[in-house]
Amino acid sequence: MFVAPRRSQARQVRTPSDQPSAPSSDTEVPVWDLPTRLFHWALVLAVSVTLGTGLFGMPQRLNLHLLAGGSVAVLLVFRLIWGLVGPAASRFSTALASPRRVLDRLRRADTATYLGHNPLAGAVLFGLLGLLGLLVVTGLVSLGGEEQRGPLAASLSWTTGRRAHGLHELLAWGVIGAVVLHLGGMLIESLHLRENLPAAMVTGLRRRPDAGAVELPALRPRRTLGAVAFVALVLLGGAWLASTWGTAPSGWSSLDEHPDQALFEAECGSCHTLYHPSLLAADEWTLVMQTLDEHFGEDASLMPEPAERITALLIEHGNGTWDTEAANELRGQQDPAEPMAVTSNRWWAEHHRDLEEAALASPDVRSPGNCEACHLDAVQGRFGGHRIDVPRSAQP
């Protein structure tokens, strides 16, 4: 059955074929309450920014991505609560339908006018919310494991973060698919009903046909309960973030407490970036320290005693002892013909291909080995994508 096109005096209805011939007694009824509408458009914004930064802004826009992603998480918390105690149209119970009914709707065996979510729209709603929830989780896992940041940094390995990252990207495409379905369904419904559904998400009003509409159950929103639950959950999440943010990441040997850290910094940092011990394997460091009199075109000899202490530090904290992104990516990629030069590491070379020439010409960089000219956190061995700041003079 096809719901016959109706005429309406409703402002929001834009149907080119509309003829004011037959009077209508359709009434407008409030469906989407203000919190639900605010949630909807805030989510549109947050998801757009998250997707935009995630797809086009990485790694430099990671912090904005985290901010937008965090907003998505907060909005999801609200929607979860509102799905349980909100007004009828926002409740999950009214959006939930059996797979059979979803299929019926898809096959157009069910063409009723739903004031809330039709079975198919409900399925898309759950799919979208579920995907976004999984994105928040995989994002946090990726951030903690791969970037060694955020609340999970202390408990996750780089490999776990890396896997989560792959999943995170896949899920992002899932969200794009769900958004396309949502927009497509909304468009089809709008045309089919001759009702401006996007406008309904602005005004909150839907047109109720005289007959045949699937009414919403009489459920009052429990605002106080919802607000209390929302504030409580957000505070709880905030407390969790505050208590875990910045805690020592896993896979991080505590170089800062090493008795020879100051000596290492003073001796190895006077001519070049203080290369982090995680950049070379222990045997490569040994080689470096044995050949200081022929050190990348210079004599960099040290007194035997400090040389020994620094060698010990480097061996103790060599590449194999770190679970950071740089340590993992560089591992095993060193060119055997150049065991001491990080700049001949295959992974390094792959990631600096476009940069080298412009960098060499820049007085702020001068050498491809001047890591800290662009990596603000090079000395900590982190090399976070968001901490890259290429000097203007070195930009191609």
Partner 1 sequence: MKPTSALLAALALLAALPVLAASAPGARAAILDGFAERARAADPGFEGFDGERGRALFEGDWGLGKPDTPSCTTCHGPDPRRAGQTRAGKTIEPLAVSVTPSRFTDPDEVAKWFFRNCRSVLGRECTAQEQGDFMTFATGL
Identify which of residues 214 and 271 has a Cβ nearer to ligand HEC in the complex: 271
Largest interatomic CA distance in the chain: 101
Q: Rounded to an integer, what distance in angstroms lies between the CA atom of residue 300 and that of residue 292?
A: 5
Interface with partner 1 includes 271 (CB under 8 A)? Answer: yes
Identify which of residues 298 and 389 has a Cβ nearer to ligand HEC in the complex: 298
Stretch that binds partner 1, among 35-43, 171-179, 190-198, 301-309 (CB under 8 A): 301-309
Q: Which residues pair with 113 in a beta bridge?
A: 213
Q: Rounded to an integer, what distance in angstroms lies between the CA atom of residue 149 and that of residue 139?
A: 11
Interface with ligand HEC includes 270 (CB under 6 A)? Answer: yes
| In the complex, least distance from residue 276 CB atom to partner 1, rounded to whole angstroms | 15
Q: Are 178 and 131 in contact (CB under 8 A)?
A: yes
| In the complex, least distance from residue 373 CB atom to ligand HEC, rounded to whole angstroms | 16
Q: Rounded to an integer, what distance in angstroms lies between the CA atom of residue 101 and that of residue 111?
A: 11
Size of the site for ligand HEC (CB under 6 A): 3
Interface with partner 1 includes 392 (CB under 8 A)? Answer: no
The DSSP code for 382 is -
Interface with ligand HEC includes 338 (CB under 6 A)? Answer: no
Q: Rounded to an integer, what distance in angstroms lies between the CA atom of residue 73 and that of residue 86?
A: 18
Half-sphere exposure of 74 (CA within 13 A, CB side): 18
365 binds, among ligand HEC, partner 1, none (CB under 5 to 8 A by kind): partner 1
Interface with partner 1 includes 373 (CB under 8 A)? Answer: yes
Interface with partner 1 includes 99 (CB under 8 A)? Answer: no
Stretch that binds partner 1, among 60-68, 109-117, 172-180, 299-307 (CB under 8 A): 299-307
The only residue of 294, 298, 350, 389 in contact with ligand HEC, by rule CB under 6 A: 298
Identify which of residues 298 and 364 has a Cβ nearer to ligand HEC in the complex: 298
The only residue of 41, 238, 366, 395 in contact with partner 1, by rule CB under 8 A: 366
User: Peptide bond before 30: cis, by omega within 30 degrees of 0?
Assistant: no
Structure tokens at 302: 């040290």
Interface with partner 1 includes 290 (CB under 8 A)? Answer: no
Size of the site for partner 1 (CB under 8 A): 23
The DSSP code for 383 is -
Length of the chain in terms of residues written: 396
How much of the chain is helix, strand and coil, in % rounded to 5? 55, 5, 40
Interface with partner 1 includes 304 (CB under 8 A)? Answer: yes
Radius of gyration of the chain (CA): 29
Binding residues for ligand HEC (CB under 6 A): 270-271, 298
Binding residues for partner 1 (CB under 8 A): 269-273, 293, 296-304, 363-367, 369-370, 373
